[in-house]
């Protein structure tokens, strides 16, 4: 199993480390080129980390960038994609008050920098049923909020301001940054999604087809 992390900006190294903590058997790679998405040695899944969303938006707005064209094509074909913070904005169908470039793959509307100057960074113990009984230490940094979602979206976590974690089929998003804490359950959950997708596609080796038993392993969320 190869899981790539988009490495144009943001905490891509931290995500790669978190994936390895969740399952040391997988391969991770820093993704910068279209050939890593759809070439002979293509990844099986992609993580889009946080960062400055307008920088990537300019590449998407160009309309001819082969990397983002490949990401969108693979995601539409079922490749699991996980977006954190900026990554969730990048996957959203709608960004409130903005027409910035995005993949528009997930039926959600998001609000950028939703917590304002007074709460730009904070950490809370966040209940996420799919991650087990223990709350997850969720760190929010100039985070967005999901303000609405379509019927195909499974809401996984909310706070007073709105939705902060959700899933739609092969797409997973969180407004917080799980890569900067020691708890690897979110990344283990995503790896479980990848393994399920590969098994369903018949593309996984027999040794990988066994249920994931690493720390924090969970069954995928139900689809609506």
- By annotation, the residues acting in catalysis are 85, 177, 179
Strands 145-149 and 136-141: unpaired
Residue 4 burial (C-beta neighbours within 10 Å; 0-12, 13-18, 19+): buried
């Amino acid at each position: 199993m190869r899981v790539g992390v988009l490495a144009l900006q943001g905490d891509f190294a931290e995500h790669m480390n978190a994936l390895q903590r969740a399952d040391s058997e997988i391969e991770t790679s820093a993704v910068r080129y279209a050939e890593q998405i759809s070439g002979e040695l293509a990844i099986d899944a992609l993580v889009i980390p946080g960062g400055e969303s307008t920088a990537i938006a300019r590449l998407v707005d160009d309309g001819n960038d082969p990397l983002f064209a490949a990401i969108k094509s693979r995601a539409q074909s079922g490749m699991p994609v996980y977006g954190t913070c900026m990554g969730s904005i990048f996957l959203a169908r709608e960004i409130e008050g903005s027409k910035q470039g995005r993949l528009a793959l997930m039926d959600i509307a998001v609000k950028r920098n939703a917590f304002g100057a007074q709460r730009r960074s904070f950490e809370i113990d966040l209940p996420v049923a799919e991650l087990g009984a223990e709350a997850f230490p969720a760190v929010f940094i100039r985070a967005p909020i999901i303000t609405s979602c379509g019927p195909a979206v499974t809401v996984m976590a909310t706070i007073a301001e709105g939705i902060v974690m959700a899933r739609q089929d092969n797409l997973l998003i969180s407004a917080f940054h799980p890569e900067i804490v020691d708890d690897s359950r979110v990344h283990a959950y995503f790896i479980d999604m990848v393994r399920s997708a590969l098994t369903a596609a018949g593309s996984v080796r027999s040794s990988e087809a066994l249920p994931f038993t690493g720390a924090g392993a969970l069954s995928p969320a139900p689809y609506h």
